[in-house]
């Protein structure tokens, strides 16, 4: 799994969890891929927070286009907290909106031979995963969580993100769930646990705003 970044691994495991129905992520899962990309930037040292928890660019974000796109927004935009940046993308205020990030992650996986588009469904592009590479990545991740050894910080963050989004359960059997849950308890002191928890709150907030705007339009127009 070392060949995959956090955002790439999240996308691969998400599509894997969907089986034959694997398709372009919906709005909620796109939000989680966005969060995974921000985690990459934090772990690489490309972004950091000031005393007011506002994110600033610290070093160039690397060679991946989806990280460069976020880096450009941070460099050019006003200071925002992580929650502010997530809402900015998810509310559609960004010229380089969330789909720029999601498409960038999926394109990078395609370029590296992890997935292949197999035509459009009714609304979204469908994908097939490269079975050998995917199964190896899934097995490596399963071993990391099930076999009690030391788990790296980025793998811990990925596990917490997959758990919160509901994808994690697709990677383990019912009998394994208790053991995985115990491992997740070991990760509760991870410095990224609270930022990861933030994404669902932002998604809920954006959904509420969208519902309110839709009600206003139906009520008054």
pTM of the prediction?
0.90
Phi (first) and psi of residue 125, to 5 degrees: -65, 140
Task: Give me the number of domains the chain comprises.
Answer: 1
Inside any domain, residue 1 = no
- In whole angstroms, give the CA distance from residue 36 to residue 67: 11
Inside any domain, residue 154 = yes
Q: One digit per residue, pLDDT tens: the chain, 221 residues?
A: 668 999 999 999 999 999 988 999 998 999 999 999 999 999 999 999 999 999 999 999 988 999 999 999 999 999 999 999 999 998 876 656 888 999 999 999 999 999 999 877 656 899 999 999 999 999 999 999 998 778 999 999 999 999 999 999 999 999 999 999 999 999 989 999 898 989 988 988 876 544 333 323 333 33
Inside any domain, residue 86 = yes
- In whole angstroms, give the CA distance from residue 118 to residue 126: 6
Inside any domain, residue 106 = yes
Inside any domain, residue 191 = yes
Give strand pairing partners of 49.
Answer: 55
**Containing domain of residue 123, as a range?**
6-220
| CATH code for position 193 | 1.10.3630.10
């Amino acid at each position: 799994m070392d060949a995959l970044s956090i955002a790439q691994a999240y996308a691969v495991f998400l599509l894997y969890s969907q089986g034959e129905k694997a398709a372009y992520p919906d709005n909620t899962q796109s939000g989680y891929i966005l969060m995974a990309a921000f985690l990459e930037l934090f772990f690489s040292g490309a972004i950091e927070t000031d005393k007011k928890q506002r994110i600033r660019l610290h070093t160039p974000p690397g060679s991946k286009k989806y990280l460069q796109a976020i880096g450009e927004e941070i460099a050019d935009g006003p200071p925002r907290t992580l929650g502010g940046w997530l809402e900015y993308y998810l509310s559609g205020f960004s010229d380089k909106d969330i789909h720029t990030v999601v498409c960038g992650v999926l394109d990078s996986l395609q370029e590296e031979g992890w997935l292949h588009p197999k035509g459009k469904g009714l609304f979204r592009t469908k994908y097939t995963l490269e079975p050998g590479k995917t199964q190896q990545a899934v097995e490596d991740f399963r071993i990391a969580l099930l076999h009690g050894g030391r788990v790296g910080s980025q793998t811990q963050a990925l596990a917490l993100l997959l758990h919160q989004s509901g994808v994690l359960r697709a990677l383990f059997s019912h009998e394994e769930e208790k053991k995985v849950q115990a491992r997740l308890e070991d990760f509760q002191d991870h410095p990224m646990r609270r930022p990861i928890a933030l994404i669902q709150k932002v998604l809920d907030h954006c959904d509420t705003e969208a519902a309110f705007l839709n009600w206003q339009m139906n009520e008054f127009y």
